[in-house]
Each structure stands twice: as structure tokens, then as C-alpha cells.
Amino acid sequence: MFQKILIANRGEIACRVIDTARRLGVATVAVYSDADAGARHVAMADEAVHIGGPRPADSYLRGAAIIEAALKTGAEAIHPGYGFLSENPDFVDAVQAAGLVFIGPSGAAIRAMGLKDAAKALMAEAGVPIVPGYHGDNQDPDHLAGAAEALGYPVLIKAVAGGGGKGMRRVDHPADFAAALLSAQGEAQTAFGNPAVLIEKYVEKPRHIEVQVFGDGTRAVHLYERDCSLQRRHQKVIEEAPAPGMTDEMRAAMGQAAVRAAEAIGYSGAGTVEFIVDASDGLRPDRFWFMEMNTRLQVEHPVTEAITGVDLVEWQLRVASGEPLPAKQDDLQIRGHAVEARLYAEDVPAGFLPATGTLKHLRFPPGIRVETGVRPGDVISPWYDPMIAKVISHGPTRAAALIALARALEATEVAGTVTNLGFLARLSRHPGFVAGDVDTGLIARDLQPLTHPLPTPPAARALAVIAAAGLHEATGTGFSLWAPLRRPVPFEAPAHLQVIGPNRLRVEIDGQGHDCALHPDGWWVDGAKTGAQIHVVGDEITVFLRGAHRFQRPDPLARESSASASGLTLAPMPGLVKAVFVAPGAQVAAGDRLAVLEAMKMEHTLCAARAGRVAEVLAGAGDQVEAGAALIRLAEEEVA
């Protein structure tokens, strides 16, 4: 086993790797950017090396600086985590050239699976079923349209260099093909610097079922499947293992195909073979096809660990340090069922917009596995993926695991930013999902009931008014400082407050009165015990009462922004301008794409709010901009 390893990553995955390394007696070195000097992974590691500025390109993507840090600290091996450099074969080669061990597959194996077209060709050769489609070199639009016609609509256009669901377009009608192709190529060019696409038959009632594999460079075993069908825009939201409705026959067929895929490329370490499954007629062994292989540890690996009892990071360290595969296929078994939800700082009603903030309050319920890279007081910065945590439940049955997940999500408290907790909790109680009737379209079909804001309980509003007055933590003495006068409280709605006795207040809001009392067991409202928790961060008040309810104390300095009406396109969050599509003088229609902003690993397309002529372009590709920065200005509207 290694004496010391370096972890070339951040956030929850860096912390998770450190946990296992520590258990195995392996010393750890963290690397960090300027934005992460106080991060949890740095605090957890035995040593830490600063590697540059907050932008990934200036730090976590700087292979040479990371290798230098490993050499300087005497680390023998580098664990890449996922994302960043984990699937970069040139980095793997450089690590090995420096005399260090890369904890993962060879550069050659990563290259073989790096582009979706070449990977499909290779897999077809190895006898792995692939999605019917065209994955040749001819990128002529007419040729591609012909290939789509031959496959039969609907089809899916995919960037060959794609990842994270980018550069992908579903096309239902031949008339829409040309436009969809152009936009897929454009997105692929901006995101990956490679516009090439392939065409696939769009699988009906698609389920995403992937198989965890583990190789020693020659032979491989599989650790069963995960179902990741609950997706939003081709991004996984909730994952589980095993797959609901899986039969022994189909499991054996998928497991064998995945092992064949891994062995065909001499795979070493942990990897995932992703399949798309046509579930229109149940799960059948002749209805699954290879999509791609992710040559790294996957975000959702904990559900596999839960059902197999294997620590996949331990296996990674053991195999990379030269030990044989820790188990044979026959040693592996499935125990119970596990479900994982990805908790993000994001504004769900606003269309899942990534959010930032200081996690003034963060509490997870006991008795459930939580993987996180943040602690109370830490910041979700605009520089990286806004993940707060992964919450993983494990139970004897699927029903038990789902209930445990739903309860854990409902009991998780985050203040200081918006989160997708409510959405995840509702999703984990969704009747179709609970019945195991999943497919990748489930979330989109039921988006409205899953995402519409829940009505705020009146008691939560009343308590927020008390917090707005600064009395939520007051004691009897605190109250007695207030004269028993009815006084206005600055709040989102007209609100008044009156102290009417020791620990008793009367709150009036929107003309409605509430009796509020602070007892030793917390706040009571209108005679009912609430169990509510109240947290105030700056002007933001969060009341936890059957979910998180956020309120804003009015900021007297806030200015009403009429920017978009006046023709200004502003950056909605801090980020990197990836592309600007217009030049001064250009005529645009409402909804036209003006620019792409990359923030928190997601791309946001900024569109024209109205028609007009571009008067000024105030930012260019490569510029780092602040939230609210003006990017493009349209000329004044001509009044007829």
C-alpha cells in the first residue's frame, strides 16, 4: 500500500477519498485554489499545497503544478476524483512519466473511450450491443440528415466529445433536423472545441442503467448495476442500486457485456459502462445498448458501495498499489437497496439556476450516509459545481430505502442559500418513482408538481416577522425592553408586532393576527407547537417548518432594475464569458442567443429580451465577469 497520496480534486470527492485513505493508514496531500484555502478537504488532509487561482484552468486543471506538488511532498500516487483531470489521458501519461502512480486506468484505456464515436466502434467489435446509429467521419449535414432518415425518427444528435449532457439534441421531425444539428454543433464547439456529432436512434421509454466495473488491467469484475433514470436535461438527479424490476437474466447479460467492454481495453481500476435501455416492454435482455464508458469513479458510486459492502476507493488504492483484485465475481452479492440524491445550491423555481451563498446553518439528520465538502459557515462559491452534499440511504428493501431518503431530505437544514431539497424530497415520494416505473422523461413530465413553490405555512411567516424584528432569539428580558406598543416591522408584506406579555407576542401580517409564544420547547403559534428553527443571515431569514421557508428583509438601498427592458443583458451570476454571438450593429429578434456564460460548471445561454439592434458589446469570450455586469446593450427602442 502507498505511504502517501495526493488528491487532485476538491469538494466532497476529495473528502471522501481522504476518509478511506486515513482508514487505511495512508497519508494525504490536498491541493487547493485561492477560493478553497479554507475548504473542508484542505482541513481534512495531512498536508495541503496551493496550486493557483480560483478558476479551474488556473488550479485544478493545472496538471504540471499538481505533479510538482506530489513530487515536492513525497506523494507516491495521485487520485484524480471525478471531473477535472480524471479523464485526461495526457495527464495520466505525465503522472507516469514523473515516476508517480495514477490511481485509475491507463492513458490508452481513457483514450479508447474518450470519444463516443470511436468507443462505439470499438465496443461493436468487442461484441457489446451498441445503440443503432451513425458514428462515422462524414459530417456533411445532408449525409447526417440521410442517416437520421434511415434510422427513423425520433433521433438523438450527440457531440462525439460530449459529457454532462451537453451538445445533445432530440429531433422528432425531419423538418427540425438541420436547425438542431447546427445548434448541437455550436454547443459542442463552445463546450468541447470539437463540433463533430453522431446520430443515434432515440430509444423509447429510455432508462439509464449503468454497470460498475473494476479491472486489474487484464481481467475485470462487475459490481452490479445502478439505475440513473431520474434525470433533468440528461443530468442525473437521483440514482439507485439495484435497478427496479431487474431480472436475473438481464442482470447477467448486462454484467457480462460490461466486463467484456472493460477487458477489451485492458481496464484497470473503477469504471462505469453506461447503457440505455428500452423499457417500453419491461426489462428485456435484448433491449439494452452501450452508450459510453466513464473511465473514473462516478458521482453515484456510494449506492453500489452500500449494496455490495465494498469500499470502491479502497479497491482503487489497493489495485493501483499493485495488489490483485480484492474479490472474484462469485464473492460479490447484493444486499438490500440504496438510493442517492444530489443536493445542490440551486434555485429550482427559477429553472434550477445554480446559486451561491454562505452556509450559515447546515445540519444533516443522523443515521444516513452524507458525502459533503462543506461545513456550516463554508461558502458555495461561483467557481465550482454548486453541490452541497450527496445523501445516501440504504435499506433492506427499495421501499425502506426510499422512505429513509425522503425523511432524511425533509430533515436536512440549509440556510444561506436556496437548495433543491424540496424538489428532491417530493421526487423521492413521487408515486411513479416509488412504484419503480422510471424513465428519463419522468421529471420533465411532472416538472410542475415537482417544482412549483409550496404554500408557506402562516406560522412560518409569523415567525419570520419576529425574526425581522430581531426578536427570534430574545428571552423574557429581551422582550421587556420593548414597550408594549404595536409597531411596524420591515418585512416583505405589511407587518406589525406587539409584545403582549412575558415571552408572548402578537404578530399581524396582511391584516391577519397570530399569537406567538416562546416556550422552553421552542416557538408556539396560535396555540400549536411548531418545532420551527429560525436562522438569520444578513437580510435573509430562513424558517425551517416542514421544509425551508426563506424571507427577505427589505433592503432600503435595493434599486428596482429595469435592465432587461432597457435593452441591457446582464450576467445573472459571476462567471466566465464563453462566447458572444453578436457584434455591434447586428439586428436580433427576441429570444435570439446573444452570449454563453459559464458559471459553476454549467453553461447559461443569455438570450435577447426583446428585438432590436446591438449598440454595444461590453464583454468578450474569456472575460471573467461579476454578477450584474452589463454584457450587451441594445439600441433604444424606436417609438413609432
**Which residues participate in catalysis according to the annotation?**
296
Residue 200 interacts with which of ligand ADP, Mg ion, none, CB < 5 to 8 Å by class: ligand ADP
Full strand arrangement of the beta sheet holding 168-171? 133-134, 197-201, 155-159, 168-171
Q: Please report, as ranges, the residues that interact with Mg ion according to CB under 5 A.
A: 274
Q: What is the DSSP string of 468-493?
A: HTT-TT--HHHHHTS-S--EEE-SSS
Question: Could you give the CA distance from residue 558 to residue 602 in angstroms, rounded to a whole number?
Answer: 28
Comparison of 82 and 153: residue with beta carbon closer to ligand ADP: 82
**Angle at the Cα of 336 (from 330 to 341), degrees rounded to 5?**
115
Residue 228 contacts residue 208 (beta carbons within 8 Å): yes
Cis peptide before 242 (omega within 30 of 0): yes
List the interface residues with ligand ADP, window 439-468 (CB under 6 A).
440
Full strand arrangement of the beta sheet holding 575-580? 602-607, 593-599, 575-580, 624-625
Phi-psi region of 618 (alpha: psi -120 to 50; beta: other; left: phi over 0): alpha
Question: Which listed range, 157-165, 255-263, 311-319, 357-365, lies at the site for ligand ADP (CB under 6 A)?
Answer: 157-165
Residue 82 interacts with which of ligand ADP, Mg ion, none, CB < 5 to 8 Å by class: ligand ADP
Question: Could you give the CA distance from residue 195 to residue 381 in angstroms, rounded to a whole number?
Answer: 31
CB of 542 to ligand ADP, least distance (A): 23
Residue 601 interacts with which of Mg ion, ligand ADP, none, CB < 5 to 8 Å by class: ligand ADP
Interface pattern 39-78 for ligand ADP (x via CB under 6 A): ----------------------------------------
Q: CA neighbours within 13 Å on the CB side: how many for 77?
A: 23
Comparison of 219 and 601: residue with beta carbon closer to ligand ADP: 601
Residue 391 interacts with which of ligand ADP, Mg ion, none, CB < 5 to 8 Å by class: none
> Does 83 help bind ligand ADP (rule: CB under 6 A)?
yes
Helices (H) and strands (E) in the chain, counts: 18, 40
> Among 162, 215, 416, 422, which residue sits at the site for ligand ADP (rule: CB under 6 A)?
162
> Among 21, 113, 156, 489, which residue sits at the site for ligand ADP (rule: CB under 6 A)?
156
Question: Which listed range, 49-57, 158-166, 554-562, 605-613, lies at the site for ligand ADP (CB under 6 A)?
Answer: 158-166
CB of 561 to ligand ADP, least distance (A): 27
Residue among 159, 170, 169, 261 at smallest CA distance from 210: 261
> Does 163 help bind ligand ADP (rule: CB under 6 A)?
yes
> Does 421 help bind ligand ADP (rule: CB under 6 A)?
no
List the interface residues with ligand ADP, window 261-300 (CB under 6 A).
274, 276, 291-292, 298-299
Residue 466 contacts residue 543 (beta carbons within 8 Å): no
Size of the site for ligand ADP (CB under 6 A): 28
Burial class (CB in 10 A: 0-12, 13-18, 19+), 199: buried
Residue 231 interacts with which of ligand ADP, Mg ion, none, CB < 5 to 8 Å by class: ligand ADP
Amino acid at 149: E
List the interface residues with ligand ADP, window 89-148 (CB under 6 A).
131
Comparison of 46 and 274: residue with beta carbon closer to ligand ADP: 274
List the interface residues with ligand ADP, window 195-254 (CB under 6 A).
200, 202-203, 206, 208, 231, 234-236
Residue 192 interacts with which of Mg ion, ligand ADP, none, CB < 5 to 8 Å by class: none
Interface pattern 587-626 for ligand ADP (x via CB under 6 A): --------------xx------------------------
CB of 274 to Mg ion, least distance (A): 5
Comparison of 205 and 234: residue with beta carbon closer to Mg ion: 234
Residue 60 contacts residue 85 (beta carbons within 8 Å): yes
The SS3 call for residue 301 is helix
Q: Which residue is nearest to ligand ADP (CB)?
A: 83
| Alpha carbon 403 to chain centroid, angstroms | 22
Residue 269 contacts residue 320 (beta carbons within 8 Å): yes
Residue 336 interacts with which of ligand ADP, Mg ion, none, CB < 5 to 8 Å by class: none
CB of 255 to Mg ion, least distance (A): 19
Residue 602 interacts with which of ligand ADP, Mg ion, none, CB < 5 to 8 Å by class: ligand ADP
Question: Which listed range, 105-113, 161-169, 331-339, 450-458, lies at the site for ligand ADP (CB under 6 A)?
Answer: 161-169
Residue 156 interacts with which of Mg ion, ligand ADP, none, CB < 5 to 8 Å by class: ligand ADP
| Alpha carbon 337 to chain centroid, angstroms | 22
Comparison of 418 and 468: residue with beta carbon closer to ligand ADP: 418
Amino acid at 35: A
Neighbouring residues of 631: CB distance < 8 A, sequence distance ≥ 6: 569, 570, 571, 577, 580, 594, 595, 597, 606, 617, 618, 619, 625
Residue 428 contacts residue 238 (beta carbons within 8 Å): yes
Q: Which residue is nearest to Mg ion (CB)?
A: 274
Comparison of 4 and 234: residue with beta carbon closer to ligand ADP: 234
Which triple of cell numbers denotes residue 451? 417544482
Residue among 105, 76, 81, 75 at smallest CA distance from 93: 105
Helix (H) or strand (E) holding 80: none
CB of 611 to ligand ADP, least distance (A): 32
> Among 53, 82, 492, 635, which residue sits at the site for ligand ADP (rule: CB under 6 A)?
82
The SS3 call for residue 3 is coil
Residue ranges that bind ligand ADP, judged by CB under 6 A: 82-83, 131, 156, 158, 162-165, 200, 202-203, 206, 208, 231, 234-236, 274, 276, 291-292, 298-299, 385, 440, 601-602
